[in-house]
Amino acid sequence: MAQQRSVFDIIGPVMIGPSSSHTAGAVRLGELARAIFGGQPVTADIVLHGSFASTGTGHGTDLALVAGLLGMAPDDPRIPDAFAEAAEAGLAVAFTTDDLGEVHPNTARLVLHASDGREMLVQGCSVGGGDVVVTRIGEFEVAVSGDLPVLVVAHRDQPGVIAGVTAVLAAEGVNVASMEVSRERRGASALMIIETDNPVAESSLDELRKVAGVTGVRTVPAV
């Protein structure tokens, strides 16, 4: 999650206003949530916390989150019309505000549903200048910034899974920038969050799915 400061971090990003944290960052959170969920949900229940809750409407945070869920980028001119775009795309959204506890003031919690009933919780915060961190996926605490491509691997907590996954990445020549593993409890379900320097090829995903103990694999592109 190292921040590179280029001239384009100062003269940029190109974005839909008004706020890099409350608008552009919110779009990126929505984009990340969509990618982690694995496509566009049919319903999204979104909880806004802290500054997102108190000034989110005036900053278009609500529109921005929905735009991101629809796959729009932070400079997409359709962001102000995101609610209408969502209705057209078959995405039903509901917003509430709540105190989510000791989290960053710019935090949103998205509970996403697929048409087959599958549900996923994605929580994240916008930390300034358009930078974001997804802090929670389901029951797992994570730290996904979207600055690099991410490989999300759901698996059972058992010996050899990490070695199996990294062996596939090594064979494909994919370099790991950061890796985080957490589990519900010993022997139960677990999650690997792997940031890579280059995207993982589709063919490698099939190999990863064959690793013993792996129950699901998903790639999240840099946003």
Partner 1 sequence: MAYASFADLLLAAQTAGSLGEAVVALECDESGASRASVLARLESSLSVMEDAVARGLAGDAHSRSGMTGGDAKLVSEKGPCLAGDTFSEAVAGALAVAEVNAAMGRIVAAPTGGASGVLPGVLLATAARLSAPREQVVLALAASGGIGGIIAAKATLSGAAGGCQAEIGSAAAMAAAAVVELAGGTPQQAGHAASIALQGQMGLVCDPIGGLVEVPCVARNATGAAVALAAAEMALAGVTFPVPLDEVVSAMGSVGRSLPPSLRETALGGLATTPTGKRLAAEPAQH
Q: Among 16, 27, 86, 152, indicate the residue that binds partner 1 (CB under 8 A).
A: 16
Does position 197 interact with partner 1 (CB under 8 A)? The reply is no
Using CB under 8 A, which of the segments 34-42, 47-55, 160-168, 182-190 binds partner 1? 47-55
Helix axis angle, 61-69 to 82-89, nearest 10° = 30
Residue 19 sits at the vertex; the CA angle it makes with 15 and 22, to the nearest 5 degrees, is 110
Whether residue 13 is preceded by a cis peptide bond, meaning omega within 30 degrees of 0, is yes
What is the Cα–Cα distance from 34 to 89, expressed in whole angstroms?
A: 14
In total, the chain counts a number of residues equal to 223
Q: In what order do the strands lie in the sheet with 106-113?
A: 92-97, 43-49, 106-113, 119-128, 131-137, 140-144
* Only segment of 18-26, 34-42, 86-94, 169-177 that touches partner 1 (CB under 8 A): 18-26
Helix (H, G, I), strand (E, B) or coil at 126: strand
Q: Does 51 bind partner 1 (CB under 8 A)?
A: yes
CB of 164 to partner 1, least distance (A): 34
Candidates 52-60, 83-91, 181-189, 212-220: pick the segment binding partner 1 (CB under 8 A). 52-60
Give whichever of 18 and 160 is closer to partner 1, judged by the CB atom. 18
72 lies in the binding site for partner 1 (CB under 8 A): no
Residue pair 77/16 in contact (Cβ under 8 Å)? The answer is yes
Q: Does 198 bind partner 1 (CB under 8 A)?
A: no
How many amino acids of this chain bind partner 1 (CB under 8 A)? Answer: 34
Q: Which is nearer to partner 1, 55 or 178 (CB)?
A: 55
Contact call for residues 209 and 168 (beta carbons, < 8 A): no
Catalog residues that contact partner 1 under the rule CB under 8 A.
4-20, 23-24, 51, 54-55, 57-60, 63, 75, 77, 79-80, 128-130
